[in-house]
Amino acid sequence: MNAKAKTDLGEPILVTGGAGYIGSHVVRDLGERGYYPVVLDNLSSGHPEAVLCGELIHGDVADSELVGSILRKFAIRSVMHFAASIQVGESVSQPLKYYENNSFNCLRLIKACLENKVENFIFSSTAAVYGMPEKVPVDEKAPLLPINPYGGSKLVSEMLLRDAAAANPGFHYVALRYFNAAGADRQARLGQDYRQPTHLLTLALKTALGRFPKLEVFGTDYPTPDGTAIRDYIHVDDLAGAHLLALDFLKSDKGSRVFNCGYGIGHSVLDVVAAAKRVTGIDFPVVHAARRPGDPAALVADAGAIGRELGWKPSVPRLDEIVASAWNWEKKLAAGKP
């Protein structure tokens, strides 16, 4: 089918990593808004069935020839870039993997976008760029001092985008700095489905289901009220909605910006464990372990800017509601996908 025919199904948007956790929720929303998501994913952690609309191209963002052909075939003008390695601990032990996959591949993608007249670029960044902020909640003006290669690799990508946009007036971007994405599609169509899960909530719920014998809590000696790390947990549906607003912002030609995505509410690791036990009704085993390298004590967002400039009004559900949506998804996975 030619590019014109594809366009007749809605404006095509290239979504790298769109078969993964957050990307698939954004793809869902793009389809519901009348766009035609063109998903490029190597399926290293994503799943074909998570692409609910548009089409999936099995390939790697590192393949510049493939990326260029997609951009030309579909006359792409807007790109959403999710494809990345995301495990903080692994980034400490394998830093070059993270700089190659997250930074160098982003450079390749940006170059292809500029060569093919892409106008809008939405980047999946992270609160890890802040490292260990002196002030919490942290806003976008805080010093960028990542303490692990994961955060460092994302910061390099932000710098690449900043400089590319400054040198190319027709190219603009929004970088969204995620705090802790959690939960699942409220209809249990989508959720976290990593082969080797590392997210706290997912591990807690899988422990409740008996997949793991115990849940490890890494670090109980942080300078926080209960000694465990504090994070800002944002429902993935609210995070997905921020991407659609970012696309609207770029299409209105308002320039390039960086925004935090969080609720401004901090929950400790033990808060999340307690919520998982309340929601599931299962008192699963929990053991304390040493801190993981690269983990800051507290990261909570000041997300006022995205509300003021993009009109983002998240639902801000209670922690138990976030956990409940993830629990419904985990029970569906355990029962077997339809």
pLDDT in tens, 285-320: 999 999 988 788 999 999 999 999 999 999 988 999
Q: How far is CA 59 from CA 27, 66, 92, in A?
A: 17, 8, 27
Query: Mean pLDDT of all residues in the chain?
Result: 95
Amino acid at 134: E
Q: Is 46 helix (H, G, I), strand (E, B) or coil?
A: coil
Q: pTM of the predicted model, to two decimals?
A: 0.95
> What are the φ and ψ backbone dihedral angles of 99, each rounded to 5 degrees?
-70, -35
Q: How far is CA 145 from CA 155, 211, 226, 242, 268, in A?
A: 9, 37, 26, 25, 22
- The single residue of 98, 150, 178, 263 carrying the catalytic annotation is 150
**What pLDDT does 119 receive?**
98
DSSP-H helix ranges across 169-287: 200-208, 236-251, 269-280
Whole-angstrom distance, CA of residue 194 vs CA of residue 112? 29
174 closest CA partner among 125, 133, 213: 125
* Among the four given CATH numbers 3.30.70.20, 3.90.650.10, 3.40.50.300, 3.40.50.720, the one describing domain 10-182+233-261: 3.40.50.720
Q: How far is CA 136 from CA 36, 142, 144, 200, 247, in A?
A: 39, 10, 14, 21, 28
Whole-angstrom distance, CA of residue 265 vs CA of residue 285? 27
Is the Cα torsion angle 273, 274, 280, 286 positive or negative in sign? positive
**What pLDDT does 4 receive?**
42
| Higher-pLDDT residue of 327, 336 | 327
Whole-angstrom distance, CA of residue 24 vs CA of residue 171? 25
The predicted model gives 105-120 an average pLDDT of 98
As a whole number of angstroms, the longest Cα–Cα distance in the chain is 59
233 is an active site residue: no
Q: How far is CA 245 from CA 235, 240, 250, 307, in A?
A: 16, 9, 9, 10
Cβ atoms 29, 244 nearer than 8 A: yes
- Does the pLDDT value for residue 107 go beyond 80? yes
**What pLDDT does 293 receive?**
80
Provide CATH code, domain 200-231+264-335.
Answer: 3.90.25.10
| pLDDT band per the 50, 70, 90 thresholds, residue 217 | very high
Q: Work out the end-to-end distance of the chain between its first and last CA atoms, rounded to an integer number of angstroms.
A: 30
Residue range 161-209, pLDDT digits in tens: 999 999 999 999 999 999 999 999 999 999 999 888 989 999 999 999 9
**What pLDDT does 337 receive?**
61
Q: Is 178 helix (H, G, I), strand (E, B) or coil?
A: strand
